[in-house]
Structure 1
């Protein structure tokens, strides 16, 4: 898969193993048997990413109650993720992908438009992976604000 390839419903979700905010390895396969929302965001502690993470945090009870876990992935190092987690009281795993290999494999890193200019960066994206590791929902170029509420409507949670 190239950096510009996009995943779609029905595709196998590419496995990953990345360190969390505490440096512990977390793999997609750890969630087998449960649904998991994997979301990619540009940078911890920025306004948009904080809003999105807090929206996931505030919806976590309903999502978990529906059998859905949440994992956030960014290029930030674990130490920055730990500060972000602690400052915002986030209770789901934040994973570190500084080499951007998982971001690229999932189509969440590449060319995007920011303020009218083409740049390389993280493409804010969210995926619902089913119990068997298949992509159920793939959403690219999502907005930080209002995204979680729209996603919950889309997946009826």
Structure 2
């Protein structure tokens, strides 16, 4: 049994601290669209590649669409700074080493999904792309290897519009879905 969020539900509110020591609260984003992305850990090459791609798209998501991004990593703050923090993201990166926010959002762990990912015939395409972008396949000591990513599109009222729980560690919301959502008319 899972406690996955569904479209139409209010996103659970949270308050945490980002990579720059700023307080980040979902309530502070009311009136704006938000993409919440839950990643495996800060050293994950595939996760770092996805953040890298977010950074490249972020300017077009901000102007004219005002789509904000918040990323979570099941890692201690030191690992966040050492790995993904080196990318100098223009949006909050949040360390959640005790997976409290992961639990709040129903983000799962699954050894079966990890095995299924590794069994995919094209898995090397993803790892090769990550390595080509400068992200080495580095294990993070003490991290939860079996964490599966999840992404949520939250509207201006704090309602989950799309909840995407990965089937594999390479399964994310398509960029076309994010951009289509971002382009939708803002609520009055």
Common fold: TM-score over 0.5:
yes
Q: Partner residue of 2:19?
A: 21
Matched, 1:58 2:56: yes
Question: Against the structure 1 CA distance between its residues 109 and 145, is the aligned structure 2 distance closer, same or farther, given a 3 Å change threshold?
Answer: closer
Say which SS state the counterpart of residue 127 (structure 1) adopts.
Answer: strand
Q: Partner residue of 2:6?
A: 8
How far did residue 88 of structure 1 move? 1.8
Quick one: distance in 1 between partners of 2:164 and 2:152? 6
Question: Against the structure 1 CA distance between its residues 105 and 145, is the aligned structure 2 distance closer, same or farther, given a 3 Å change threshold?
Answer: closer
Q: Partner residue of 1:107?
A: 106
Matched, 1:44 2:42: yes
Spell out, residue by residue over 1:36-70, the C-alpha distance to the aligned partner (whole angstroms, 9 max, x if none): 10000001132101110011101101111211100
How far did residue 19 of structure 1 move? 1.8
Q: Indicate conservation of the 8 Å contact 2:151/2:172, yes or no.
A: no
- Greater CA drift, 27-36 or 104-113: 104-113
Higher helix share: 2
Say which SS state the counterpart of residue 68 (structure 2) adopts.
Answer: strand
5+ residue gaps, structure 1, are: none
- Greater CA drift, 123-132 or 81-90: 81-90
How far did residue 123 of structure 1 move? 2.1
| Rg larger in structure | 2
- TM-score (normalizing by structure 2): 0.71
- Greater CA drift, 86-95 or 4-13: 86-95
Q: Partner residue of 2:177?
A: 151
> Aligned match of 1:130 in 150, 155, 158?
155
Question: Against the structure 1 CA distance between its residues 156 and 102, is the aligned structure 2 distance closer, same or farther, given a 3 Å change threshold?
Answer: closer
How far did residue 131 of structure 1 move? 0.7
Aligned length: 154
Higher strand share: 1
Question: Against the structure 1 CA distance between its residues 86 and 95, is the aligned structure 2 distance closer, same or farther, given a 3 Å change threshold?
Answer: closer
5+ residue gaps, structure 2, are: 118-143, 184-188
Quick one: distance in 1 between partners of 2:171 and 2:104? 25
Q: Indicate conservation of the 8 Å contact 1:34/1:69, yes or no.
A: yes
